[in-house]
Structure 1
Amino acid sequence: MEGETTKRLATLVGCNYVGTRYELRGCINDVDAVRDTLVARFGFAPADVAVLTDGRGAEVLPTGANIRRALADMVARAAPGDVLFFHYSGHGTLVPPHHGDSGAEEEAIVPTDFNLITDVDFRQLVDRVPPGASFTIVSDSCHSGGLIDQEKEQIGPSVGSDPSAGSTAPARTARFLPYGAILDHLSAVSGMPSSHHVADHLVALFGADASAKFHVHGGSGNGSTPSTTPAPAPTPPRPDEGILLSGCQTNETSADVPAYEASGGKACGAFSSAVQSVLAAHPAPLSNRELVAKARAVLEEQGFEQHPCLYCTDANAEARFLSQDKKEETAVGAASPAMSAALL
């Protein structure tokens, strides 16, 4: 149960990939708005909100190692009853099976140094959360459905989904980096041919800081090709407190909305903006299921071809988003004026 000693801890990551051909515009704005909302509405202390962006003058860049370290530190500080939150705005990608593996492509986020953080990494983080604490992830990135490996689908392509057939929205930048683009970039840095799997490049470049997903193949970290020994079959996860709100389904992209389309003149993520608008319109606590369903409705009304998803246990689907208390309702009017002004 929450009490006076309950901690509310957050890690917020915004990657605009400034100065690269993969540049986005709204990710840092998303993080700024989310930080305001966490403090004003949900009772997070500013000192307990870690922010990693690639904006000018940023203190900690959102590299793969830095993001992993921030998340690991947050989980290590947690005790039963604490509320943990991770928001990510940036590119996502899909990783094909490694040589000798079987199965479908799997989800990953793309830090600024392209040191991918995968669904396996998020599963391992969730498994380390103390019983009774909650760990909510909001990922405004492409192909983000299922970003916690083996988490139960509550709203998604198979459950509770009714995607619209068409869209009236103009073309926008997608928060998606194709696998080939990631290989080309890493190949230029590693010196290895782009025909190698991304695991080969990442283990060679980042060693122990590469995703746990790629270390099951026994990569040496010295530039040699990792072993092709198949990964062991996954075991069913224990009941956990991981909660994923994804900006879209695994087979979809999430939109980065340019400033000229946002009424407030600030670029933003379509999903992040939809979440902020739903929270602003509903001061009473919302369940995770209600928040995702209402965000879906906002995006559908605006003509976006992306359908947010919810992955968590049955109990957490009905639990209050970020465990908002009734007494916190009065603070909602101050929540995120920056993002509220940027709604589409």
Structure 2
Amino acid sequence: MEAQKKRVAVLVGCNYPNTANELHGCINDVLAIKETLVKRFGFDDSNIEVLTDAPNSCKLPTGANIKQALAKMVDGAKEGDVLYFHYSGHGTRIPSKKHGHTVHHEEAIVPCDFNLITDLDFRQLVNRLAKGASLTILSDSCHSGGLIDKEKEQIGPSSSVQKGSTSKTSYTLTHKTIPYDFIQQHLSSLTKATATDIGTHMLELFGSNASLRFQTASHALLEALGPDEGILLSGCQADETSADMNPGVAGKAYGAFSNAVEMVVREKEGGLSNREVVVRARKVLQGQGFDQHPCLYCSDENADATFLGHPQKTEH
């Protein structure tokens, strides 16, 4: 008898309450997507782990906690399992030198403790996935395009894009990014070290829990890891920002991309491909007046595969 296939999710929402980087819609995003996963995509509530920085949260979305939850999900997967990681929060770009001369940028998400999780961490995670299992990552954060290192662009900067019209909403818009300089200054204030290399501060503060990008063996890992079966739906291109919308007393705050995906999957009873979800989300955001362009990074086969593995359930 064939073993039952699992559908497992890790959902992370960081609002950074009472800080200079506070957002308002990220926790709402993951609570909304959790309901959608259960009602329309067949996930069991017991197979969904939620990490938020809400005051009553039982498990904060620190870098170590997020990576631990992702490792547990990935390492426990078997052939046919469907895995999903949804992140709503700040992103950043880390300047780095490849090949010794040109300055490039590496993408990262910003957990509540600033223990950055980088594109290399996600690539290494995907490459550990059991053959025949799938891992879909949706990152509603700034600079999220390219968050899985070396994954193939299906919809990205080279795709045809149009600027949105001016938004007519009365919402307060906050960009979901924390500049690299701010992060470096914050970390150096904690370590009291004068080093200008962010990796020095990361290793001193977080040790072995720091990103692989800052570990000694990172260069060897970069050469060893190749494209695999990861699926990334990013809220914007690598050089763009994603919006956090706060209507104040008028309604519920939300992330623009998370909300667009929610709208897209709810209005279509049958299954949508990963490509269709991103294309439709782009159209929703353009119609709402946003200048961010969601992207899709995955293999050709996964671009046309059904989002989260099978047709959505119809709600009754």
Q: TM-score range by the shorter chain?
A: over 0.9
Q: Which one of 299, 303, 306 corresponds to residue 285 of structure 2?
A: 299
Residue 157 of structure 1 deviates from its aligned partner by: 0.2
Aligned position for 1:256: 244
- Within 5 Å, which residues of 2 pair with 1:1-344? 5-97=4-96, 102-158=102-158, 160-164=159-163, 167-168=166-167, 172-193=173-194, 196-216=196-216, 231-232=219-220, 234-235=222-223, 237-238=225-226, 240-260=228-248, 265-325=251-311, 328-330=312-314, 333=315
Give aligned pairs, total: 312
**Where in structure 2 are there 5+ consecutive unaligned residues?**
none
Q: 1:233 to 1:111 in 2, by over 3 A?
A: closer
Asked whether the equivalents of residues 14 and 62 of structure 1 are also in contact (C-alpha less than 8 Å), the reply is yes
Relative to its length, the structure with more strand (as a share) is: 2
Residue 233 of structure 1 deviates from its aligned partner by: 8.5
RMSD value over aligned CA atoms? 2.0
How many Å separate the matches in 1 of 2:238 and 2:54?
28
Deviations, residues 269-305 of structure 1 (Å, cap 9, x unaligned) = 0000000011111111000000000000000000001
How many Å separate the matches in 2 of 1:71 and 1:217?
21
Residue 17 of structure 1 deviates from its aligned partner by: 0.4
Deviations, residues 22-59 of structure 1 (Å, cap 9, x unaligned) = 11000000010010001001111111000000001101
| Letter matched to residue 176 of structure 1 | T
TM superposition score normalised by structure 1 = 0.86
Residue 254 of structure 1 deviates from its aligned partner by: 0.3
Deviations, residues 158-215 of structure 1 (Å, cap 9, x unaligned) = 2x3313276446761000000111011111111113x612111101111100000110
Aligned position for 1:228: none
Q: 1:292 to 1:244 in 2, by over 3 A?
A: same
Residue 76 of structure 1 deviates from its aligned partner by: 1.0
How many Å separate the matches in 2 of 1:55 and 1:6?
32
Q: 1:47 to 1:101 in 2, by over 3 A?
A: farther
How many Å separate the matches in 1 of 2:79 and 2:221?
30
Asked whether the equivalents of residues 173 and 256 of structure 1 are also in contact (C-alpha less than 8 Å), the reply is yes
Q: 1:30 to 1:152 in 2, by over 3 A?
A: same
How many Å separate the matches in 2 of 1:200 and 1:238?
27
How many Å separate the matches in 2 of 1:102 and 1:166?
35
Asked whether the equivalents of residues 150 and 236 of structure 1 are also in contact (C-alpha less than 8 Å), the reply is no
How many Å separate the matches in 1 of 2:204 and 2:217?
12
Asked whether the equivalents of residues 98 and 197 of structure 1 are also in contact (C-alpha less than 8 Å), the reply is no
How many Å separate the matches in 1 of 2:62 and 2:26?
15
How many Å separate the matches in 2 of 1:154 and 1:61?
33
Secondary structure of 1:307 counterpart: coil
Aligned position for 1:338: none
How many Å separate the matches in 2 of 1:253 and 1:37?
25
Deviations, residues 189-244 of structure 1 (Å, cap 9, x unaligned) = 11113x612111101111100000110378xxxxxxxxxxxx35944755522000
Asked whether the equivalents of residues 164 and 288 of structure 2 are also in contact (C-alpha less than 8 Å), the reply is no
Secondary structure of 1:34 counterpart: helix
How many Å separate the matches in 1 of 2:59 and 2:102?
37
